[in-house]
Amino acid sequence: MVHGRNKSRRPCFGISTRLWLVALLAVSLVYSVVSAEAGAKKGSVAFHYAASLTDEELSWLQRFEIVVPAAILPQSQIDRLHEAGSRLFFYEWATGLYIDNPRSLAPGSWEALVYKNRKTWLLNPNRPDPGPDGWNHAYYYDPYQPSFQKAWVDQLNATRVSSTYDGVFFDLVGSIYVPSKLLRTYNSRHPRSPYDASLATMVDNVGQTGSLVFTNQGYRTAEYYLPVTDYDLTESLATSYAWGQSVTLYVEGEGLVQKEETFYRSWSDLKWILGDIQAKVERYNPAVKIVHLSYTNAFYEPTGAVIPVAGKSYPVYRKVVDRAAIYYGYVAAKLWSHESYSPGPTLSFSQDEVYFSDLGEPLGNGYEERDGVVLRYYEKGVVVLNPSAVGQTVDLSSLLVPPGVAGLQDLYDNVTVFGLTVTIDPTSSSASGRVYPSGRVYLYQN
């Protein structure tokens, strides 16, 4: 379970219950040289929770193929994103809705319609239950009811058409996100129709209207949801803001504080988890695209200054983007030809040009494990993961490397490597001294 930084937010992205995913936007580009030399393409997916965007945010978002805002944006901003070739998805909590005060529902609203038909459309018509945000104001749908199915699909299609959006992002798909007592209610009402079969039918019907479909964690009940979606999301698999090691340090602008470093999931765990997801994709819908949100904390960089606190001297650190974690998440995803994005704690902590690097199509039958690393070849480059706590030197020569390649562009360090032999150091925390695995992306140079 992914626990959120703020449990009061609504709507929510997954069981992480975050109030925002603003860290998916970066308003300044730090490594533009890499983009210019390597040849940039559009990024895959970005999420941003805001009812309206700044010019800087728009400039960033329009570089992505898929954008998931919190709400319907102003038409001028929708038009600008569409003109840039981005496709827009609006948010929909798949299994229920929030109603704070039934007496104050706007006439003609979706909430008012659901509440009017609550006896048959809801599993808890008489009182709300806790939602993903932890508050007791959630009502859960009965997806079996034909009248509800039609109304739900119709209102989502109407929203998409009127907004000129391209698809729907369904958060929390599946019975695993419904309280167990309400599942018992559903099963007693409809003993011959599994909950997930009913909900998957509704999601599929949305797709039949011409909408693109993007589910969150449909892979957890893969036999129902992967066949009916175009994209599926994971959260906190490669890295996370939760579960990291704590360190006490002096941070610019904050003083002496305790912080958590980014959590890195081990290769042995990733190999099993992502391999299982890929097996489900191949079994149920090879066309579905998997996207990983691998959350990060800030990285703490020494400033060189020292400050006394209570008679003890502390080195001073500043918060910067955890690029090493971004690369680890990116490479882990690319080993299976998946997509990745790494939101940090605020807007400015997710930025890196690696999302726009053009690797081309994946080659071979999958990743390779050799010489202490894990790697995957692409038409225009290779991604390499070092799972250990020591540096690894590896010769990347392979029949999959195109003829004429004389060197590599190291996107992480922004240097050119002559030849195909590289040394990949682990990630070292300057604040705690801890060592973590690492990832690198190399583009071929002729």
- pLDDT grade, residue 347 (50/70/90)? low
Cα–Cα distance for residue pair 15/220, rounded to 1 Å? 13
Residue 364 has pLDDT above 90, yes or no: yes
Question: What is the structure's pLDDT at 134?
Answer: 80
Tokens 């626990």 belong to residue: 3
Average pLDDT, the chain: 90
What is the per-residue pLDDT for 343?
87
Asked if residue 191 has pLDDT above 50, the reply is yes
Stated as kind and residue range, the H or E segment containing 141 is none
| Nearest in space to 343 (alpha carbons), one of 21, 9, 12, 67 | 21
How would DSSP label each residue in 176-206? GGS-HHHHHHHHHH-TTS-HHHHHHHHHHHH
> What is the tens place of the pLDDT at every residue in 286-310?
999 999 999 999 999 999 999 999 9
Confidence category of residue 322, pLDDT binned at 50, 70, 90: very high
pLDDT, residue 7, reads 30
Percentage of residues in the chain with pLDDT exceeding 70?
91
pLDDT band at 199 (very low <50, low <70, confident <90, very high): very high
Location of structure tokens 């706590």: 389
Which pLDDT belongs to residue 162? 97
Confidence of residue 394 (pLDDT cuts 50, 70, 90): very high
For residues 126 and 115, give the distance between their C-alpha atoms in angstroms, rounded to a whole number: 10
Q: Report the pLDDT averaged over residues 4-8.
A: 31
pTM for this prediction: 0.89
CA-angle at 295, arms to 204 and 160, nearest 5°: 30
Residues 6+ apart with CB under 8 A from 67: 45, 46, 47, 48, 61, 81, 86, 87, 88, 89
Domain boundaries, the chain: 14-359
- Amino acid 17: pLDDT: 34
Among 328, 306, 333, 329, CA closest to 317: 306
pLDDT for 353 equals 94
Task: For residue 55, give Cα distances in angstroms to 25, 165, 293.
Answer: 12, 20, 24
Q: In terms of C-beta distances under 8 Å and separation of at least 24 residues, what long-range contacts does 300-305 make, across chains too?
A: 300/247, 300/249, 300/251, 300/259, 300/261, 300/429, 300/430, 300/431, 301/430, 302/430, 302/431, 303/252
Contacts of 159 (CB under 8 A, 6+ apart): 72, 90, 165
Of all residues in the chain, the percent with pLDDT exceeding 90 is 81
pLDDT at 36: 37
Phi and psi for 403 in degrees, rounded to 5?
-60, 145
CA distance 369 to 143: 45
Alpha-carbon span 316 to 214, nearest angstrom: 43
Per DSSP, the three-state class of 383 is: strand
pLDDT, one tens digit per residue, over 20-38 is 333 333 333 333 333 333 4
Distance, in Å, from the CA atom of 98 to the CA atom of 138, rounded to the nearest integer, reads 5
Under 8 Å between Cβ of 215 and 196: no
- Taking residues 323-345, report their average pLDDT: 96
Nearest to 406 by CA among 396, 393, 392: 396
Q: Does 423 have pLDDT greater than 70?
A: yes
The per-residue pLDDT for 1 is 34
The whole-number pLDDT of residue 40 equals 67
61-107 confidence digits (pLDDT tens) = 899 999 998 789 999 999 999 999 999 999 999 999 999 999 889 99
What confidence category does residue 50 fall into, taking pLDDT thresholds of 50, 70 and 90?
Answer: confident
Per-residue CA distances from 140 to 5, 128, 149 (Å)? 24, 8, 13
Q: Is the pLDDT of residue 10 over 70?
A: no
Lowest mean pLDDT among 34-43, 74-83, 124-133: 34-43
pLDDT at 411: 98
pLDDT classification of 19: cutoffs 50, 70, 90: very low
Please tell me the predicted confidence (pLDDT) of residue 25.
32
DSSP 284-321: H-TTPEEEEE-----EEEEEEEEEEETTEEEEEEEEE-
The Cα-based distances of 131 to 12, 71, 242 in angstroms read 10, 19, 21
Query: Class of the 14-359 domain?
Result: alpha beta
Q: What is the pLDDT of residues 213-237, one digit of tens each?
A: 999 999 999 999 999 999 999 999 9
